[in-house]
Amino acid sequence: MLSTRVIACLDVHNGRTVKGINFVDLKDAGDPVEQANLYSKTGADEICFLDISATYENRKTMFDVISKTAESCFVPLTVGGGVNNLNDFRELLKCGADKVSVNSSAVSNPKIIRDSSDKFGNQCVVLAIDAIESETMPSGYEVTTHGGRNKTNIDVLNWAIQGVKNGAGEILLTSMTTDGMKTGYNLHLTKLVSENVPVPVIASGGAGNPKDMVDVVIKSGASAVLAASIFHFGIHSILAVKKEMLKNGILVRDCGN
């Protein structure tokens, strides 16, 4: 049985970690390199960087952030935001990223999933899906882009299944309805996708406490849990999450004493 991963997410804007609700009303949450190193030392299994202001200039800033983090942080790094082609993939991997996440670019050009998987291996390709509830979609959820602001008329479950067929090695599934709310993950959404794809699903959007993370693993089959706010602002620690998981029979990687 594989261990359940606890992932700290750093939303990066102009070289600083920020956090808001649904990617708006952003608050400064510190230096991303310093935070990544802290999380690495305090039990994070992975660090996920999301460049939420990925213009050309800010992409250069992000390359610098990843390079500096990789030099001193020894857990896997996933990077997303503004990844539009194979060259973006290549440059991020060269900077020290272990995985690259695609979202909007995959919607506009699904071929990027297959091309990047063929070139770099599916273990490097994470398909990020930002989902909203929708009565018009067969699964009840619609894929969105640009932080949940743009609807796509694409069904979440169909998109996840197709993404894996195209070569995605992992799904980063965010409920935009619960993102930043600290009211718990969308258990129905996570279970729907987890039960229908053969790759790991990372639950994202809504973690408020360690019990939320336990619930999404036990009740929804998530392979990993991702959070930002509760870690950045010291509400809960990664160690507390892992201890709660152990208490509930969930296998985790080293969580100290």
Q: Under a CB-based contact definition with an 8 Å cutoff, are residues 62 and 12 in contact?
A: yes
Give the pairing of strands 16-21 and 24-30.
antiparallel
Between CA 33 and CA 47 the distance in angstroms is 11
Residue-wise burial string across 113-147, b where 16 or more C-beta atoms lie within 10 A, e elsewhere: bbbbbeebebebbbbbbbbbebeebebbbbbbbeb
Q: Let me know if 254 is a catalytic residue.
A: no
Question: Residues with Cβ < 8 Å from 254, sequence gap 6 or more?
Answer: 43
Two tokens, residue 178: 């619960």
Q: Quick check: helix, strand or coil at residue 197?
A: coil
Give the active site residue among 45, 88, 130, 212: 130
Taking CA atoms, 163 is separated from 11, 111, 112, 203, 221, in Å, by 24, 10, 10, 17, 19
- The helix (H) or strand (E) run that includes residue 27 is strand 24-30
Between CA 149 and CA 55 the distance in angstroms is 18
Q: Let me know if 179 is a catalytic residue.
A: no
End-to-end alpha-carbon separation of the chain, Å? 22
Two tokens, residue 8: 């700290």
Query: What is the set of active-site residues?
Result: 11, 130
